[in-house]
Structure 1
């Protein structure tokens, strides 16, 4: 009888772990949009700049969005997904407002993608600053935009 209860318990634990570990499809949203800019920032931990850099962040404007600049930013967009012109990826951020480097208007709708995404919970967000003006006074409104994790981006 003990062996039977042990088998049931292990089986139950196995299914619980599988359920917790799997992405729930209903948690993912599908979207179409455009990669419209990028940035590299300084990592913050415990309120201090660490000297480390983030991976390249990419700005995404959703198709049909009322926002003018972007809707989301992500740190997990594959760097080799598009062959971006080198001058689009430097400098690391916009030194005038400590925001991202947005692509010129002529390229705003060139890098079209379709993807599923999930909003990043506050505790899991990459904490960063883009230049001294963000640390002193946030001139670019990063808080107006959501950090997301992309899943299965495709060229659209």
Structure 2
């Protein structure tokens, strides 16, 4: 079954192995931090804030990129979203924002998730973020094309040195 939400093309298999190694290490760090957050939520619920999970996720991502850089990965690859993928990413961003919006403005929406104000805020938020996701996707696509050209240049240089 072909993935219809994003396009991915690997250019160098050795670097994919290094990325997998960095990903595995950062996953273990991330799982450890999540377990620590869970223990805090169980043992001291007054200290637990759901934003701790976001901080944990950001720390895991930072550790992943830092570890990949230390392994010497330049990671030449091509990755961008299809139109369906862009729509899905925008929906995910909108969902996260609107869940926070509902949590903080529950009185305005009269404790009703089907309130007209809340539903219109969904539509407006989606339409605001949609062009930005498409612009970011164009950036990913152009970076992928640049990375492929750079990879081909590096391979040509290696062949000419031999």
Give the TM-score, by structure 2 length: 0.25
Please say which structure displays the higher CA radius of gyration: 2
When you count strand as a share of all residues, which structure comes out higher? Answer: 1
Give the TM-score, by structure 1 length: 0.26
